[in-house]
Amino acid sequence: MDKCKQPYVNQKTNLEKFSPEILSEIEKLFAKKFTYTKPVNDEWKLPDPSNAFTSDHVEFHSLLALKDSMNEVKNQLSDKNLEDWHRHTSFTNKAGKIISHVKKSVNAELCTQAWCKFHEILCSFSLLPEEALQDGELNSVHLCEAPGAFIASLNHFLKSHHVPCHWNWVANTLNPYHEANDILMMIMDDRLIANTLPWWYFGPDNTGDVMTLRHLTGLQSFVSSMSTVHLVTADGSFDCQGNPGEQEALVSPLHYCETVTALMILGTGGSFVLKMFTLFEHCSINLLFLLNCSFEEVHVFKPATSKAGNSEAYVVCLRYMGRESLHLLLPKMVQNFGKEMVNKALFSQHTLPESFLKTHEECCMFFHKCQVETISENIRLFEHMEEAEQIKLNKLRDCAVEFFMQKFHIKPIGKNNWLVKKSKTGCSMNAKWFGQRNKYFSTYNERKMMETLTWNDKVAKGYF
């Protein structure tokens, strides 16, 4: 019988077979967490709301230096063939075997990288408020959620741990069935959406664009039947391959809209999980200060199953202090809701406490170090990899699987507990278009060169 197909009870994790060196490396992979420790003097308080959005954006030089340093390392990848580099980093990814193992061994529905990342978050933090567990009702809202892996992961967690609560969920994403939406901006797999459509909210214009004010007010109405919202997740992003060095700034309006939405709909005591990237820019600093003033606990966490060479990290916010604590600021934030970068800074630079800025810089330095080490190592191995290093990488990948299963107590569930027990429909509707992204260029430099061509030049070269 195939090892992966054996019943779960026979699959015992065994970390003793790995050397201390291998185990130590994997423990580090699973320990990428930074906690914002608030001063005892309650110094981190929101500035006077009347001063919000009155000052110009001012960057923090020490953090810009980190950004420049990061981009210098990333620039070494500009001439690498994208397919070759992706194949290489897939092999050097120490967590690379986890997803397929989880999919096979515990019957996980919609088991993707996002499924595994969210399971790590669920198992690493007290994300589900005590109130929800005591009352036996859990209400969650999932923004920018397609194809639905966070929902499937949460369902698996609740069912496999026999959490005694009635769970209601609502999700949002760009509507895959709306002709106005760019196919390349959307997720290919619509199986969960197609079979749970009543739970998905696409807004009054039916596009699912979370960055419009009409969507925010409509979503508030859509979730009003819930007694309270205990959990909001926001996993939004978009393709920044054309300008990877400015990913953080390009995505900042989306993060702003996701955060305002969460603060408007979340109940007191609730949790918020927000995907971000690097945290060097003034907009991210202000957002993190806002979250630290709005929640009792804030952590930045990079799951082991998030590729170590990218900038992705999750801001995990626990125990929301409630809209009342923001009652003068939130209306002003709603006024600045939209797709464009706000002209003025949320907070003036001089109003942010030095102790917060110091803590935030420590956070940035920690994740900067982790990412730079990974990229540098990947470049070194790309140029030349000894057989001994390949053997070590395979041991690390095997160890990561065992470590993941043991640390997070991953258990199976039956298909009768899946969200979609029997699919009525389902397709990878964007698959034929998805390949167009990289069809005409193999390196970043070639992609940038194509951007400089005129329409006629592009036609002449056969790009259309």
Tokens in use for 461? 């070269």
300, β-bridge pairs = 34, 315
Which candidate, 284, 297, 320, 355, places its Cα nearest to that of 43? 355
Sign of the Cα pseudo-torsion (445, 451, 452, 454, in order) = positive
Q: Is 217 exposed, middle or buried (0-12, 13-18, 19+ CB in 10 A)?
A: middle
235 marked as binding residue: yes
Torsion of CA 451, 457, 459, 463, to 10 degrees: -40
Output the furthest CA–CA distance in the chain (Å, rounded): 68
167 marked as binding residue: yes
Q: Return the number of other C-beta atoms located less than 10 Å from residue 356's C-beta.
A: 19
Which candidate, 280, 240, 274, places its Cα nearest to that of 257? 274
CA–CA distance from 297 to each of 1, 35, 62, 351 (Å)?
Answer: 47, 8, 25, 21
Q: Which helix (H) or strand (E) holds 300?
A: strand 295-301
Tokens in use for 366? 């920690």
Q: Are strands 271-276 and 231-234 parallel, antiparallel or unpaired?
A: parallel
Task: Determine the Cα–Cα distance for residues 276 and 264; give it in Å rounded to an integer.
Answer: 19
Q: Are strands 137-143 and 166-171 parallel, antiparallel or unpaired?
A: parallel
| Residue for token pair 């507990």 | 417
448 is catalytic: no
How many CA atoms, within 13 angstroms, populate the side-chain half-sphere of residue 194?
16
Among residues 275, 302, 307, 395, which one is catalytic? Answer: 275
200, β-bridge pairs = 171
Task: Give binding residues as ranges.
Answer: 148, 167, 235
Catalytic residue IDs: 275
Binding-site residue numbers for S-adenosyl-L-methionine are: 148, 167, 235
